[in-house]
Amino acid sequence: MNNKFSLKRFKCIVEQSFIGLLYKDGVFQEELKPGKYKFGHPFSTSKWQIKYIDLRERSLIIKNQEILTKDKVAIRVSIIVYFKVDNARDAMHNVALYEERIYEDVQLAARHYLAGESLENILDSRSTISTSVKEEVKSIAKGYGVEIVKADVKDLVFPGNLREIMNQVLETERHAEAELINARKEADVLRIKAKAENESEQLKNEAHKEAVKIRAEAEKERIAIQIESEVQEAKMLRDNPEILKLRKLKTISELARGGGKFIVGLKEIGMEEVLKD
């Protein structure tokens, strides 16, 4: 932040990523965007002043704040806050030093959250510290022209004996997590195997059903062909009685050669006879 005074002409340059607040005899006049400016005249007795406000995003670290949790455990927390000025006039006029004010507001927000939570909850949901701090400070900082972009817990330090206990807990959790991962892998293997066996069995059943269906259709077709053949044969015998007679004689001849006893009426030749062995 630079202040410049002149009893004559006032010249200034506002650089990129900055904004200038122009004052005449201590009274705010206007905001100056990046560029080159000249005010007053050679015989002016007015005093001009410009204050430069950086609009770029910056960070601020709130270091090693010792805070008692809800269950009276002392912990130290460091929080990094990313912010930028979005209203230069409010940042300059509403608070004395906006960076110091951010520091104090983040401190208070961290104390409010951690003092209301047990150590177990803090360990289980460390990321909520950042969210809680950001949300609380965000609305406050808006009142003095600052936007809180992000807040993160940089460090969270516990008493020595508690650190040892936590390390043991973390080691146990890592082993448990490794066992869980292995168990899940084995379960996945078994599930994949069972699925493959089930699909194989389904394929076998479908193949069997298809084979039965094909055999049934083939048998149906065979029977239809046989019936059609018998029907054609019956028509042929009906239309050609001599063929039927010849078949009867052939049958009798075959029975006789086989040693059978029978009586045949030969109406076709007008007599009967008994054939014996």
DSSP state of 233: H
DSSP 153-211: EEEEE--HHHHHHHHHHHHHHHHHHHHHHHHHHHHHHHHHHHHHHHHHHHHHHHHHHHH
Q: How far apart are CA 235 and CA 247, in angstroms?
A: 15
143 occurs within a structural domain: yes
Q: How far apart are CA 99 and CA 124, in angstroms?
A: 31
206 occurs within a structural domain: yes
For the segment 68-72, the average pLDDT, to the nearest whole number, is 85
Residues 133, 91 share a domain: yes
Residues 90, 15 share a domain: no
State the residue for tokens 């951690």.
114
253 occurs within a structural domain: yes
Look up the domain containing 268 and give its range: 242-275
163 occurs within a structural domain: no
Residues 125, 69 share a domain: yes
For the segment 213-240, the average pLDDT, to the nearest whole number, is 82
Total tally of structural domains belonging to the chain? 4
Which of 14-23, 245-254, 259-268 is the most confident on average?
14-23
For the segment 23-44, the average pLDDT, to the nearest whole number, is 89
